[in-house]
């Protein structure tokens, strides 16, 4: 396969089967046509090339063009042809006929091919294509009765108004034949026939310049042949324009860093693959690969090092591809692999695991040994999506599922997709509910074992007008995956602080905890926004507690640390929720500025019947106390669990045994009933 500009490997062709037949057929047809033309000229006693002054002028001009192509053309000439060579050939055709024009074209191809020995096969092919193109133009002119020869030149003085359409049709025939054969026998820009239209539009400008300059060359050759070499300048400019058009088309489909195809190419190639798979009743698959923590490489080692890492990653993926599979870089640290034919989702998943296995092998970079981890999502046609865009999007959903679960590879699961039609409708309803204030907060108490109220947790509730009560896990997950989470967090914080202000005005000084997501913590300025909201409502920072999970330290540890430090610097207290269900809990616990630790209900629920869960709770309480943290147990629903937690030294409990989550009015009544047990705020924050 021939190289693309700059030595880049072009994407595979979608007409490769056709080029296998055209490549040998074109030189054979051209050879026969040329042989017939030469024999007829020699048999009639005609010369093959003019020996007059215009002939010598064309010889000098041809030499200059060849020198230009050898010195500057490089690989471009072989993949896109030469406008200058075409102009020379057409000018010779108009003035002297078919065979001299073919000889000029073959001289260009032969001499450039001799200078580039590794390109001799391409030289033969291009020469043959030019022979057929010039022959098509000659036949077009002959249909009008114009058959110029060396002995009987077609002088410009004999041109009439009808000559213009003759020239147009002749040049059009040449361009049509040569461009079509070049495209069918080699790589079209981007490797896809459906993307050739843009290139043809750009090259139409070159064709216009070609039509304009050829008659001028003929006129100068007939009247001032000594000036012919001056045409080298505009012809070289014509070539440059020709190559720039092709390079621009290639650049639109090729990733400039890795040389891999880009997203546009992938989608177009996937469309072709899905059409083929649909006709054959087969499956296709897309694998989306994303590097884990790549940003830390850029931040620590610099972007140039990150670029070199991406080059090595691209090379490893290439080497691991099965037959017929194709890889593209979508941008950043995202790659996609197209499997045009696949047996099942399981086999596609196996390919993805093999690729991730090759990526996980240690690599050397700037004297450092790095181990790269990645996550991959798999989507299969036709089970998961009927079109290329949908398949890519669903592979993306699966990839984020793998990244979230840290499972390596996941196959698309509709239940985890926040963008199904039903969930999209629910997202729109949630957005309207937030705008209209239809989402409510209920408050669940946290109580110490001496009966004092340690605080309240604000829990979001949504009563849909048609669906009824929507489970919080469902609509919170939709908000997380859609980008609506910051809006939901703002709503909850605003509502909770309004309620805290009302309670404080009624002499109920109870702290309220609000859950925030990792996305909130990663948002620059989040700490300042919380502080401003506290000041606006006149609520002291000690009345607000933010509950986070260990996940905040996974994606962007530095940004998370900065935000949490800013929050605690303003006096906001932090609580670590769902402790024990994340990753590297002990490591993260040392880095998080929390004052409270909440034991997940999954451990509390079986505390009295499972010795392992009981031991986990005991060790968690001792660890937290050794770090000076308050321990709260979630999901307490019976007296036996209450007693066991008290014996283990837990500080407070939360659950149905104490009270369910209640609307504001019921929470106020509950607090009033236990007013003597409401915990006072520390003097420093009251």
Most confidently modeled range among 187-191, 358-362, 437-441? 437-441
Question: Checking DSSP bridges between strand 596-599 and strand 630-634, what pairing results, if any?
Answer: parallel
> Which residue's entry shows tokens 């209640």?
662
What is the four-CA torsion angle of 581, 583, 587, 588, rounded to 10 degrees?
-70
Contact of 551 with 582, CB cutoff 8 Å: yes
Q: What is the spatial distance between Cα 132 and Cα 86, in angstroms, rounded to a whole number?
A: 12
Average pLDDT over residues 313-323: 89
pLDDT in tens, 593-651: 889 999 988 889 888 888 888 998 999 899 889 989 999 999 999 999 999 999 999 99
Cβ-proximal residues to 59 (8 Å cutoff; 6+ apart), any chain = none
- Band of pLDDT at residue 161, cut at 50, 70 and 90: confident
pLDDT-derived band at 205 (thresholds 50, 70, 90) equals low
Helix axes 83-96, 120-142, angle to 10 degrees: 40
Q: Which of 23-37, 239-253, 361-375, 498-512 has the highest mean pLDDT?
A: 498-512
Alpha carbon distance 563, 526 (integer Å): 7
Structure confidence at residue 506 (pLDDT): 92
Alpha-carbon distance of 106 to 89, in angstroms, equals 9
Q: How far apart, in whole angstroms, are the C-alpha atoms of residue 351 and residue 363? A: 21
| CB neighbourhood size of 147 (10 A) | 12
Residues 266, 98: Cα–Cα separation, whole Å: 43
Mean pLDDT of the 136-149 span: 85
| Three-class secondary structure of residue 365 per DSSP | strand
Q: Using alpha carbons only, how large is the chain's radius of gyration in Å? A: 37
Q: Say yes or no to pLDDT of 379 above 90.
A: yes
3-state SS assignment for residue 177: helix
CA torsion 503-507-510-512 (nearest 10°) is: 20
Rounded to whole angstroms, the Cα distance separating 521 from 525 reads: 9
Confidence of residue 684 (pLDDT cuts 50, 70, 90): very low
Rounded-to-integer distance, Cα 316 and Cα 293, Å? 18
d(CA 494, CA 489): 8
In terms of Cα–Cα distance, which of 346, 348, 347, 404 is closest to 375? 404
In this structure, what are the phi and psi dihedrals at residue 342, rounded to the nearest 5 degrees?
Answer: -145, 145
pLDDT higher than threshold 70 for residue 299: no
Supply the pLDDT for residue 289. Answer: 93
Mean pLDDT value of segment 288-293: 86
Mean pLDDT, rounded, for 275-284: 91
Beta carbons within 8 Å of 578's beta carbon, 6+ residues apart:
549, 550, 598, 600
Q: How confident is the model at residue 440 (pLDDT cuts 50, 70, 90)?
A: very high
Q: Residue ranges of the alpha helices (H) in 542-676?
A: 557-569, 585-591, 601-604, 611-626, 639-648, 664-673
pLDDT digits (tens, 9 = 90+) for 234-274: 888 777 776 676 666 566 678 878 888 888 888 888 988 99
The pLDDT assigned to 84 comes to: 76
Q: Which residues contact 240 (CB under 8 A, 6 or more apart)?
A: none
Pairwise pLDDT comparison (211 vs 389), residue with the higher score: 389
Indicate whether 324 pLDDT > 90: no
Say how far residue 361 (Cα) sits from the centre of its chain: 24
Res 34: pLDDT: 81
Q: Which percentage of the chain shows pLDDT scores above 70?
A: 82
Return the structure tokens found at 399: 């990839």
Give, in degrees to the nearest 5, the angle at Cα 269 between 265 and 272: 150
DSSP string, 51-75: -SHHHHHHHHHHHHHHHHIIIIITT
Nearest alpha carbon to residue 588 among 620, 615, 557, 566 = 557
Q: What is the pLDDT of residue 581?
A: 61
Mean pLDDT of the chain: 81
Average pLDDT over residues 391-414: 87
> Is 170's pLDDT higher than 60?
yes
- Work out the average pLDDT over 307-335: 88
Beta pairing, strands 326-331 & 334-342: antiparallel
């Amino acid at each position: 396969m021939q190289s693309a500009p700059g030595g880049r490997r072009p994407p595979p062709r979608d007409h490769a089967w056709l080029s296998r037949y055209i490549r040998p057929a074109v030189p054979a047809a051209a050879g026969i046509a040329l042989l017939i033309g030469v024999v007829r000229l020699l048999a009639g006693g005609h010369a093959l090339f003019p020996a007059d002054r215009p002939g010598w002028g064309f010889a000098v001009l041809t030499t200059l063009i060849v020198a230009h192509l050898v010195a500057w053309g490089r690989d471009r000439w072989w993949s896109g042809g030469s406008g200058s060579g075409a102009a020379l050939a057409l000018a010779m055709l108009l003035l002297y006929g078919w065979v001299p024009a073919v000889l000029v074209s073959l001289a260009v191809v032969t001499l450039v091919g001799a200078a580039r020995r590794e390109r001799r096969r391409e030289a033969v092919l291009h020469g043959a294509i030019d022979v057929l193109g010039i022959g098509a133009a000659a036949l077009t002119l002959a249909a009008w009765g114009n058959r110029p020869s060396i002995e009987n030149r077609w002088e410009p003085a004999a041109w009439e108004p009808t000559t213009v359409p003759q020239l147009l049709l002749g040049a059009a025939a040449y361009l049509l034949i040569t461009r079509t054969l070049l495209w069918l026998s080699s790589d079209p820009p981007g490797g896809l026939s459906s993307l050739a239209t843009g290139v043809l539009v750009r090259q139409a400008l070159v064709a216009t310049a070609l039509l304009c300059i050829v008659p001028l060359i003929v006129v100068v050759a007939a009247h001032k042949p000594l000036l012919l070499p001056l045409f080298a300048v505009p012809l070289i400019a014509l070539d440059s324009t020709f190559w720039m058009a092709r390079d621009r088309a290639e650049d639109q489909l090729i990733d400039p860093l890795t040389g891999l195809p880009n997203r546009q190419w992938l989608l177009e190639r996937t469309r072709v693959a899905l059409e083929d798979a649909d006709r054959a009743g087969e499956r296709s698959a897309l694998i989306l690969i994303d590097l884990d923590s790549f940003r830390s490489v850029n931040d620590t080692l610099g972007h140039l090092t990150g670029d070199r890492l991406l080059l090595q990653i691209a090379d490893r993926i290439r080497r691991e591809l099965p037959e017929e599979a194709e890889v593209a870089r979508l941008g950043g640290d995202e790659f996609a692999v197209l499997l045009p034919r696949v047996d099942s989702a399981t086999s596609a998943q196996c390919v993805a695991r093999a690729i991730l296995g090759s990526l996980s092998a240690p690599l050397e970079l700037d004297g450092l040994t790095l181990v790269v981890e990645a996550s991959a999502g798999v989507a299969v046609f036709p089970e998961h999506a009927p079109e290329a865009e949908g398949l890519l999007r669903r592979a993306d959903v699966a990839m984020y599922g793998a990244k979230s679960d840290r499972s390596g590879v996941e196959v698309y699961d509709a239940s985890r997709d926040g963008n199904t039609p039903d969930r999209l409708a629910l997202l729109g309803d949630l957005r309207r509910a937030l705008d209209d204030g239809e989402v409510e907060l209920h408050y669940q108490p946290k109580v110490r074992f001496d009966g004092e109220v340690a605080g309240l947790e604000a829990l979001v509730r949504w009563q849909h007008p048609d669906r009824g009560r929507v489970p919080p896990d469902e609509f919170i997950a939709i908000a997380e995956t859609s980008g609506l989470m910051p809006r939901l967090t703002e709503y909850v914080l605003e509502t909770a602080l309004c309620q805290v202000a009302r309670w404080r005005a009624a002499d109920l000084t109870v702290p309220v905890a609000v859950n925030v997501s990792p996305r909130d913590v990663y948002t620059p300025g989040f700490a300042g926004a919380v502080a401003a909201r506290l000041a606006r409502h006149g609520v002291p920072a000690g009345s607000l507690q933010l509950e986070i999970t260990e996940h905040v330290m996974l994606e962007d540890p530095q940004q998370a640390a900065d935000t949490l430090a800013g929050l605690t610097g303003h006096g906001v207290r932090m609580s670590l929720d769902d402790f024990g269900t994340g990753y590297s809990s002990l490591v993260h616990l040392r880095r998080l500025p929390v004052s409270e630790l909440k034991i997940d209900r999954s451990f509390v629920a079986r505390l009295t019947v499972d010795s392992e869960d009981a031991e986990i709770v005991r060790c968690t309480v001792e660890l937290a106390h050794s770090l000076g943290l308050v321990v709260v147990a979630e999901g307490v629903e019976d007296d036996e669990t209450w007693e066991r937690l008290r014996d283990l030294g837990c500080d407070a409990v939360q659950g149905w045994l104490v009270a369910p989550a209640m609307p504001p009015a019921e929470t106020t009544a509950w607090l009033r009933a236990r007013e003597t047990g409401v915990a006072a705020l520390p003097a420093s924050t009251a």
